[in-house]
Structure 1
Amino acid sequence: REGSVKYLFAFDEARMLVGKKGGSKIAEKNSPFYYILRALILLPEGSGIFAVFTDTHSNISNFSPTSYLDPSKRVAGEGYQLFAPFYLLDTMDMNVKFKEVMTLKESEDPQHFFQYGRPLWGALLMPSSDTKGMKSERIIELAMDKLIGGQFFGLWKKNVHIGILDTLAILGPRLCIEIAPQSSYAPDLIANNMRLCISVLEDHKYVVTSMSTEPVLAEASARIMNDSDISLTKLINQLSEALKKGVVDAGYRGELTARLLLLNAWDCCIKKKILDEKKKKTNDSKNYFRFVTLEEFLKSLLADNVYEKIKNRLEET
């Protein structure tokens, strides 16, 4: 009702109120958020006092815990339940001009594919009245930093021991990985690694996540995967561990393995094109987001003797 809110407490960068990631349960229980929540619960109903916790990197499970982790909430009764978190925001692809028809070559232009996904990418690329637009290369570097949790990739890759969380974050935009909703990795990937929250069940035990089809993040993922300091073997080993722990769904009849093989063939094909263009000085683009012919892709995917067997069929078509 109008005028019903008399005092509004707004806590921005609210992640600072909770225990540090990986901290002990005692430390988390003694966090400022724990005591703020207890104080808010004790306020009389109808007092007109409301609190909002906002953060772009917050973990949903920290601020909207499951009942068994927050037992006193059950005692307080329905009137003191936490509000459901805001998570389903319809802002994807809002800058795309769907009526435009482009050639494959034109679709490689950052001015086009940066419009897909989150509006952030297109907004950074386009100049406004008071600021210049960022260069596409810098935006991709920013996306790489965001994928690994907001760290500077150039330093991160020199010192990191790649774990399951890093692997899921890096491979996610390209590999269509399904994360188990009950996994502890799901809320962490939302909070720190650009994964989207699709749904939070009422008991808050399950968080359904997804990775949108964003060309910018896919490009960032491709560059990380093919960086000389990043071992694809280590990424695959960590992905295998995630499969064993039930964190990731392997897909029907090994779909995940098939995707990896196809992606690797694509990357080998693109790296060859980049190297050839560099030698000929015809193009200085580092982008993996570009088109290739079917012939080029199959040459990269198949062994030479296998490709020779189907080569004539390709020429016929």
Structure 2
Amino acid sequence: MGLTNQESGGLPGLQSAFQEPYRGETHKLLIETLNKYSQPSGYGPSHRPYNLSLSVIQSSGMGKSRMVHEAAHSVFTIPINIREEFGPVLKSYPPPDEEFRHYFQEHDTKSDLRLQAEYAIILGVLFTKAAELLEKPIFEHKTGTALASEWANYLNEGQTSTEVGTNRKKFLDSVVDRARQLQSAELGVPRQNEKEAQRKLHLLIPWMQDSCRKFIKAISSDDGRAEDVKCIVYFDDAHQLTEPVSPNNARRYSPHHNFGTVLSELAYSPVFFIFLSTSSHPPEFNPFPASHPSVRVAQGLRLSPPFTELPFDIFVDKVFENLESQKKNRSLENVGQTGVMAGFGRGLWYVYHKNWLEQKELPVISFARDKLIAEGNEAEVFHSLIAALGIRIGIIFDIILQASRTMESKLVESHMRVVYAIPEHREFMHAGSPSEPILAEAAARHLNDPSNGSTIEIQGPEILAQAREKGLLAKGEHGELCGRLLVTIAHDIALRQKHSLPKEFLPDPYFHRPVHVLDFLKALFAKQFETVILDAHSVTAKADVPDLKTAFANAYIFFSHFALAKNSEMLSAPNLAVALLRGMALQAEDNEGSIDAIIPVHMGHPTESISPESTSAINLQFRNRKEADPCRVFRPITVPDEEMPVISIIFELGARKIGEAGLVTITEEIPRNSCSSGNKLHWDDHHYEIVAYGCISETFAAIPSAVQPHYQSVLVARTIVEDFPRAGNDKSLRAFENLKPFFDGLQEPVIRAEQLESE
């Protein structure tokens, strides 16, 4: 899918993404994938392709259009953009091929056979017109990549931010004109007799195949392998082909399914068709075989799984090279600048910001927020909010449920969520919010918007509670979500207490900046525990070890979002320093034992360089249980240097100690080997461990009392009885329990031993 922006937002900034030299080799990976999927992988139907088509599904701004644009200089490519009209305010890039778009519209009244006939016509004309165009002198004697590049340049000639190239327009418009003439002559009116439409289709298919053979002959050469794909035809912004239909006797399938049926007749031609879209609805671009309308697919012919592996972090080296050229070190102060933040994540941010430095139109963070909230679409307020919160705290949806799959798809389509993988069976997808500082800053602004008077400590728990009520959240994640939300809220509160929230955000980041560790702790915990925490001794309480406030007097956290760590190596000090460069905290994998998340800490002034030697951690452990069993954090997992001070916080979110004084405690535990170890340091000598009980305002300053019930609704697991709608009616409840969803020891009749013996 292409990029959209408001007219004032600067379309040249979007166009420049295509003029910037291409970085990475994703276009080569795409071509390799097409070559692989174009060939049978073995014997039998399941190894043969149903058709040569592939959906490229990914979030906006990830470089789908740019990738195929670059591939067009290696493989002969016919580009077609059928993006819908956005109106006078919203503009888009690349610009659409309007006549082609119109050809695919107004399909509601047409039968499946009619649509297939129309698609066969336009493909046949497309191949014929392309072959005729290749007779021009400029293409003479050119083959392979030379021909592909010459053809691409020819079509791009004269392209602007709002209009396709003049040669491309003339070529594709002539295709549509001729297709409409044939459509009128061969098919007549749309409501034609179905038997006649079937007869016409049987005549059109061989004609289309013959047109394709002649076209392939015109572009073929001895270059490359004979079995490789010779041509790519791609449809950009192809999600309109998946528009739902009202089934009737003559129409059962979407335009995309009907198009696929026609393409199956070209399965043995070296032409591959690609559909680019942010739409990821399984029944359409991801059809799993059992739901596909083709009998041949149901019998086992292979469908190509969607391609999702678009480039990421391609400008990281560039931004650090820029820092070095300006003789700036990699300090928190410097990596927190917009120009460095823009180097992480999708390439769009860097290119757009680079253009903004020249044009001074819409800053990249404001642009990112517009993209995140779908240009302020009022019908998608909740989608925007859960997308923003997901970017910051790492929300994982329950992919088993259809409601979660639908939400995930919507967030990918319109709210910048990234597709990681779509399994071979295509029944669901794995998606998430990888580390993108620009997008995290935009999300933080959306959740702390002064224009609506709401802040993340109010909106955050409300969003989670709604998501939980809708059944969207992955099971086992509720406690960790609440914990990550609490520390994120404390981060934002600490910032707002030091730096007033501007009524209108400036181009520079506000939330992506260093926060003093002590300010963070004071913002997290209730005021009454401030002295307890700041005066805390280390676990071993050695006399010569300073208290917490002294040990962390010159220490800073620097995170605007959470990202997932794959393994324990990512939690070690050298990689925690890497996390500081991106401004991210880390969510640990499930098997990391005593640590669920880590906030990296820079021990030193924000102007001093980040390094593993100056990196510490705040280890986080989240527990959601009614009874708090004693547990410890094994600090060497993150910072094995015993002299480096480390903080660990254990959140006993489901438990509550008797009396407010016991809601926050400091662990003191003298290890058995401390007496015999002499001067050797123990790993707990500089380890400060805090245990907090309950997810309540009495424990956490980050929880306003008004939203406390939202946390409880997220943390407390709903029982089957709670979800039974008539549980309040005694008779209904007894009838429900009689279905035996469980066995109640207080209700079941007791069988005495003598009764068993008598039987």
Partner of 1:31: 254
Q: Using the TM superposition, give the Cα deviation of residue 227 of structure 1 relative to its aligned residue in structure 2, in angstroms.
A: 0.8
Larger deviation, residues 193-202 vs 29-38? 29-38
Alignment check: 8 A CA contact 1:124 1:133 kept: no
| Paired residue secondary structure (2:431) | strand
Deviations 1:269-301 (A, max 9, x none): 21222218x7xxxx9955100001111111211
Partner of 1:17: 241
Partner of 1:95: 315
2:391 to 156, 170, 173: 173
| Paired residue secondary structure (1:54) | strand
The answer to whether structure 1 residue 316 and structure 2 residue 550 are counterparts is yes
Partner of 2:49: none
| Paired residue secondary structure (1:197) | strand
- What is the distance in 2 between the residues matched to 1:307 and 1:6? 69
Q: Using the TM superposition, give the Cα deviation of residue 311 of structure 1 relative to its aligned residue in structure 2, in angstroms.
A: 2.5
- What is the distance in 1 between the residues matched to 2:461 and 2:411? 18
Q: CA 1:217–1:230 in 2, change beyond 3 Å: closer, same or farther? A: farther
Among the aligned pairs, what percent are the same residue?
A: 28
Q: CA 1:301–1:192 in 2, change beyond 3 Å: closer, same or farther? A: same
Partner of 1:114: 342
Q: Which has the higher helix share?
A: 1
Q: Using the TM superposition, give the Cα deviation of residue 49 of structure 1 relative to its aligned residue in structure 2, in angstroms.
A: 4.6
Partner of 1:222: 444
Larger deviation, residues 199-208 vs 229-238? 229-238
Alignment check: 8 A CA contact 1:94 1:119 kept: yes
Q: TM-score, normalised by structure 1?
A: 0.79
- What is the distance in 2 between the residues matched to 1:284 and 1:126? 13
- What is the distance in 1 between the residues matched to 2:507 and 2:229? 57
- What is the distance in 1 between the residues matched to 2:358 and 2:476? 41
Q: CA 1:214–1:135 in 2, change beyond 3 Å: closer, same or farther? A: farther
Alignment check: 8 A CA contact 1:125 1:136 kept: no
Q: Using the TM superposition, give the Cα deviation of residue 240 of structure 1 relative to its aligned residue in structure 2, in angstroms.
A: 2.2
Partner of 1:143: 368
Question: Unaligned stretches of 5+ in structure 2?
Answer: 1-224, 536-546, 552-759
Deviations 1:78-99 (A, max 9, x none): 44x332211023x222211369
The answer to whether structure 1 residue 267 and structure 2 residue 486 are counterparts is no
- What is the distance in 2 between the residues matched to 1:119 and 1:145? 17
| Paired residue secondary structure (1:212) | coil
Partner of 1:242: 467
Partner of 2:418: 196
Partner of 2:562: none
- What is the distance in 1 between the residues matched to 2:415 and 2:238? 17
Alignment check: 8 A CA contact 2:234 2:274 kept: yes
- What is the distance in 1 between the residues matched to 2:460 and 2:516? 28
Q: Using the TM superposition, give the Cα deviation of residue 216 of structure 1 relative to its aligned residue in structure 2, in angstroms.
A: 0.7
- What is the distance in 1 between the residues matched to 2:267 and 2:532? 77
- What is the distance in 2 between the residues matched to 1:247 and 1:272? 33
Deviations 1:10-58 (A, max 9, x none): 3222012221xxx5664995532232122223x1542445322123x23
1:287 to 498, 510, 523: 510
Alignment check: 8 A CA contact 1:60 1:191 kept: no
- The count of residues paired between Structure 1 and Structure 2 equals 295
- What is the distance in 1 between the residues matched to 2:462 and 2:288? 32
- What is the distance in 2 between the residues matched to 1:218 and 1:14? 29
Counterpart residue type for residue 339 of structure 2: Q
Q: Which has the higher strand share?
A: 2
Alignment check: 8 A CA contact 2:289 2:297 kept: no
Partner of 2:704: none
| Paired residue secondary structure (1:204) | coil
Alignment check: 8 A CA contact 1:4 1:48 kept: yes
- What is the distance in 2 between the residues matched to 1:205 and 1:235? 30
Alignment check: 8 A CA contact 1:125 1:135 kept: no
Q: CA 1:74–1:269 in 2, change beyond 3 Å: closer, same or farther? A: farther
| Paired residue secondary structure (1:202) | coil
Q: Equivalences for 1:129-140 in 2 at 5 Å? A: 133=358, 138-140=363-365
Q: Using the TM superposition, give the Cα deviation of residue 140 of structure 1 relative to its aligned residue in structure 2, in angstroms.
A: 0.7
Counterpart residue type for residue 294 of structure 2: S
Larger deviation, residues 185-194 vs 287-296? 185-194
Q: Using the TM superposition, give the Cα deviation of residue 178 of structure 1 relative to its aligned residue in structure 2, in angstroms.
A: 1.1
Q: CA 1:134–1:307 in 2, change beyond 3 Å: closer, same or farther? A: farther
Alignment check: 8 A CA contact 1:17 1:32 kept: yes
Q: CA 1:132–1:87 in 2, change beyond 3 Å: closer, same or farther? A: same
Alignment check: 8 A CA contact 2:460 2:485 kept: no
Alignment check: 8 A CA contact 2:314 2:347 kept: yes
Q: CA 1:9–1:77 in 2, change beyond 3 Å: closer, same or farther? A: farther
Alignment check: 8 A CA contact 1:64 1:82 kept: no
| Paired residue secondary structure (2:430) | strand
Alignment check: 8 A CA contact 1:199 1:207 kept: yes
Q: CA 1:4–1:161 in 2, change beyond 3 Å: closer, same or farther? A: closer
Partner of 1:258: 483
Q: Using the TM superposition, give the Cα deviation of residue 316 of structure 1 relative to its aligned residue in structure 2, in angstroms.
A: 3.1
| Paired residue secondary structure (1:269) | helix
- What is the distance in 2 between the residues matched to 1:70 and 1:50? 20
| Paired residue secondary structure (2:411) | helix
Please give the root-mean-square deviation of Cα atoms over the aligned residues, in Å.
Answer: 3.2
Counterpart residue type for residue 256 of structure 1: L
Counterpart residue type for residue 291 of structure 2: L
Partner of 1:72: 294
2:352 to 119, 124, 127: 124
Q: Using the TM superposition, give the Cα deviation of residue 162 of structure 1 relative to its aligned residue in structure 2, in angstroms.
A: 3.0
Larger deviation, residues 206-215 vs 135-144? 135-144
Q: CA 1:253–1:176 in 2, change beyond 3 Å: closer, same or farther? A: closer
Partner of 1:162: 381
The answer to whether structure 1 residue 105 and structure 2 residue 323 are counterparts is no
Deviations 1:136-156 (A, max 9, x none): 97111111111123x1x4xx4
Partner of 2:428: 206
Higher-RCO chain (CA-CA 8 Å, sequence separation at least 6): 1
- What is the distance in 2 between the residues matched to 1:253 and 1:195? 20
Deviations 1:238-283 (A, max 9, x none): 422323444222645711111111111111121222218x7xxxx9
Q: CA 1:198–1:307 in 2, change beyond 3 Å: closer, same or farther? A: same
Larger deviation, residues 231-240 vs 265-274? 231-240
Q: CA 1:292–1:8 in 2, change beyond 3 Å: closer, same or farther? A: closer
Question: Unaligned stretches of 5+ in structure 1?
Answer: none
| Paired residue secondary structure (1:248) | coil
Higher radius of gyration, 1 or 2: 2
- What is the distance in 2 between the residues matched to 1:133 and 1:250? 48
